[in-house]
């Protein structure tokens, strides 16, 4: 039997290896094949006794990652070798020196970038965040590290079924939070879409299967519609002698799910379930005019929506994406998106960075993707914050739409949508940003927080007296601006702390006390501080006065305090106003512990909701709903601090829940609704508000309920009130605020 299994394993491995060689179109010569074979033999020997959770030989994983890198991203021999060997240094006896000796420094650097060094990291932060930051640092050397990492993550997501449920949820959340946006930013549209869909498969399995099933049911109808819609376009293109290919690209499951939740509409009301893509065979110099010619042909047959025209041919996106998008009205009254692009543009859209570099020499201008990579390198070089802050800043620019603005000299700058005048100032230069006092947008004076729009021309006004301010962080969106402001504030705090240090030194000198770390620690404890720097800052700002020192003795230049009872005014206030821990209980953790907890204000969970616990640093355990807006980020970045939680049946505690209702405005309607809530069901109300506009009312009420059953009964009762059309619990995210845990 064992012999049979070994034979089957060999067949599987050989088939995977041959499949890799077939798709490695940039590794066809004899020397390349020999290097790939050498890497395969080494990995095969290193992983020979290892198996994946699914039971299959481990070597199949690096071969699959190498195949994704070659086939779906279009990488060459060096990347294929790196992908085959990507787990050897971490999981086997092979060292980086061994890799360099056999395959050279480039492959060694790639493997080094891919190897996790968990022991070095600070375990109070997310290990994944540190790994991600380390991975991004390789951008300055070799972006192939990140491309292979994305291939590795894609294969892990494709084979996630064999993992435990909690592992599936962690990996899927992590993928959705960071890796899918990164794939998008590097122009890997196909990989980004698949990562999002696979993440949804594990984070929202029921909704995923429902959308998948609905798409399958309507596939034949959509195919007939696409054929009828494209028929006149095909005839016109054939008549013009244009070489083309037309595809009907279905909308991804994740984007449909997103639309259902964002717009609060059912699947049946989503009409743009697909887009028509016209791919043209064109010489580089004829690409732009040909795309516009085909646009003209399409709009000859179908009426376009002028608000939905997107010209990324003239101004490509920062990830290198180029295409002409228009939305036109079909004969059946449905809007249809049409994408027009060339074969080169299509390859860049699907394979991103690697394809972009293949065509790089043909481009006259510096590519916007080059500019983006340079900005990332710049941010990495100047960012000294911890990994989680770094990722929060970095992610701001990963998945945002872009605007295109101009300097007074007419130079084009690309910024994320929502960027302000201050973001633009830091984009020009750090010193310009730090000394910025205002801006002129299209010759009109605006504040620093003014949000820019595409086409704006901006002139920055500066002053030598200006310094970076903490509130600036509230109205910048680019990672570069945030990083530079934080850096400037740190420098300023160092100056302030230095002044505070001098004050302490003078005080100690007057008391004949030695300025030593031990004596400073005594002072820290006396005032209730965790660090000398914080104490120095507050002394310099006047929040702490050394004149109030009392209850101390001095012996041999050492100061000793009898008791540590004095605290700063701020700390006293914080102590008095601190939230008390509720006495209600939950069943928490695998051992079903009964421990204190707090309900998170960002999602207001109530008994009956699916929940999880999150161990905060300063605030004990906080309970979040599974569908909390912050759940994906918490499970991704802090998986080791997430614990199981479920409700006990409780009737002695009430919880706040918000309900929204709409209907036809009528005399006495408010009285009917409040009567239904208070009298019929004896539910207490905390707040209620109504707005009426053109005969339609929109109302919100915060009620105190015991659990979801209690809430659902109330919703059913309100639906029976005459004039009320819809009643629903306020959706997560509508009023959620992010908590700083």
Q: What angle do CA 243, 244, 246 make, to 5 degrees?
A: 160
Distance CA 423, CA 421 (A): 5
Beta-bridge partner residues of 57: 51
φ, ψ for residue 523 (rounded to 5)? -65, -40
* CA dihedral (491, 497, 503, 509) positive or negative: negative
3-state SS string for 268-328: HHCCCCEEEEEEECCCHHHHHHHHHHHHHHHHHHCCECHHHCEECCCCCCCCCCCCEEEEE
Cβ partners under 8 Å of residue 392, min gap 6: none
Q: What is the dihedral of CA 208, 209, 212, 214, to 10 degrees?
A: -110
148 close to 65: Cβ distance less than 8 angstroms:
yes
Per-residue CA distances from 313 to 70, 183, 284, 372, 401 (Å): 27, 21, 12, 18, 16
Distance CA 146, CA 376 (A): 13
**Residue 159: which of 46, 71, 37, 63 has the closest Cα?**
63
Beta-bridge partner residues of 327: 337
DSSP 420: B
Where is 13: in which H helix or E strand? helix 2-23
664 close to 695: Cβ distance less than 8 angstroms:
yes
Per-residue CA distances from 261 to 90, 254, 256 (Å): 41, 11, 9
484 close to 393: Cβ distance less than 8 angstroms:
no
Q: What is the dihedral of CA 567, 570, 571, 574, to 10 degrees?
A: 150
Assign 469 to helix, strand or coil.
coil
470 close to 492: Cβ distance less than 8 angstroms:
no
* Catalytic residue ranges: 90-91
């Amino acid at each position: 039997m064992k012999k049979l299994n070994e034979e089957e394993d060999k067949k599987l491995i050989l088939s995977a290896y041959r499949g890799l060689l077939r798709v490695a179109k940039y590794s066809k010569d004899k020397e390349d094949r020999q290097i790939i074979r050498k890497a395969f033999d080494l990995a095969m020997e290193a992983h020979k006794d290892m198996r994946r959770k699914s039971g299959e030989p481990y070597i199949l994983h690096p071969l699959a990652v190498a195949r994704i890198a070659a086939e779906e991203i279009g990488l060459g021999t060096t990347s294929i070798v790196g992908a085959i060997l990507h787990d050897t240094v971490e999981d086997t006896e092979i060292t980086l020196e061994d890799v360099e000796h056999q395959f050279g420094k480039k492959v060694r650097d790639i493997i080094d970038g891919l190897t996790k060094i968990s022991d070095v990291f600070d375990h109070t932060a997310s290990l994944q965040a540190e790994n991600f930051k380390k991975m991004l640092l390789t951008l300055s050397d070799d972006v192939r590290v990140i491309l292979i990492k994305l291939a590795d993550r894609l294969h892990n997501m494709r084979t996630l079924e064999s993992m435990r449920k909690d592992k599936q949820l962690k990996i899927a959340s992590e993928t959705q939070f960071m890796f899918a946006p990164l794939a998008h930013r590097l122009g890997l549209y196909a990989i980004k879409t698949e990562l999002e869909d696979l993440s949804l498969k594990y984070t929202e399995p029921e909704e995923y299967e429902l959308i998948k099933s609905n798409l399958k049911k309507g596939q034949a109808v959509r195919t007939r519609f696409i054929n009828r819609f494209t028929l006149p376009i095909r005839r016109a293109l054939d008549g013009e002698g244009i070489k083309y290919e037309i595809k009907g690209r279905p909308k991804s499951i994740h984007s449909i799910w997103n639309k259902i939740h964002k717009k609060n509409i059912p699947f049946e009301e989503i009409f743009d379930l697909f887009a028509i893509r016209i791919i043209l065979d064109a010489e580089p110099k004829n690409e732009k005019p040909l795309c516009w010619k085909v646009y003209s042909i399409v709009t000859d047959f179908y009426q376009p929506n002028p608000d939905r025209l997107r010209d990324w041919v003239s101004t490509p996106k920062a990830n290198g994406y180029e295409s002409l998008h228009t939305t036109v009205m079909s004969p059946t009254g449905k809007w249809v998106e049409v994408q027009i692009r060339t074969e080169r543009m299509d390859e860049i859209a699907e394979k991103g960075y690697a394809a972009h570099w293949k065509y790089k020499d043909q481009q006259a201008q510096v590519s916007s993707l080059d500019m983006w990579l340079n900005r990332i390198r710049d941010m990495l070089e100047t960012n000294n914050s911890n990994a989680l802050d770094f990722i929060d800043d970095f992610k701001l620019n990963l998945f945002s739409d872009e605007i295109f603005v101009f300097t007074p000299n007419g130079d084009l700058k690309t910024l994320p949508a929502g960027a302000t005048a201050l973001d633009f100032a830091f984009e020009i230069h750090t010193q310009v940003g730090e000394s910025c006092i205002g801006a002129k947008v299209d010759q009109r004076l605006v504040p620093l927080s003014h949000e820019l729009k595409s086409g704006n021309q901006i002139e920055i006004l500066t002053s030598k007296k200006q310094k970076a301010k903490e509130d600036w962080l509230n109205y910048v969106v680019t990672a570069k601006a945030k990083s530079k402001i934080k850096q400037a504030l740190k420098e300023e705090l160092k100056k302030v702390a230095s002044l505070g240090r001098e004050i302490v030194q003078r005080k100690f000198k007057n008391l004949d006390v030695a300025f030593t770390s031990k004596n400073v620690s005594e002072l820290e404890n006396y005032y209730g501080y965790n660090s000398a720097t914080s104490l120095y800052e507050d002394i310099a700002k006047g929040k702490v006065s050394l004149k109030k020192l009392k209850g101390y003795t001095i012996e041999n230049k050492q100061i000793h305090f009898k008791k540590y009872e004095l605290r700063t005014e701020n700390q006293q206030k914080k102590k008095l106003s601190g939230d008390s821990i509720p006495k209600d209980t939950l069943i928490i953790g695998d051992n079903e512990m009964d421990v204190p907890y707090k309900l998170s204000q960002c999602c207001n969970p109530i008994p009956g909701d699916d929940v999880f616990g999150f161990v905060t640093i300063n605030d004990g355990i906080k309970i979040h709903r599974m569908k909390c807006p912050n759940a994906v980020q918490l499970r991704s970045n802090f998986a080791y601090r997430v614990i199981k939680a479920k409700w006990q049946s409780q009737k002695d505690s009430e919880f706040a829940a918000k309900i929204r209702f709409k209907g036809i405005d009528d005399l006495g309607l408010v009285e009917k609704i409040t009567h239904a809530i208070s009298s019929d069901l004896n539910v207490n109300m905390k707040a209620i508000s109504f707005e009426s506009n053109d005969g339609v009312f929109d109302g919100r009420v915060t009620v105190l309920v015991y659990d979801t059953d209690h809430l659902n009964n109330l919703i059913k009762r309100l639906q029976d009130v005459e004039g009320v059309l819809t009643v629903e619990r306020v959706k997560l995210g509508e009023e959620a605020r992010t908590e700083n845990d």
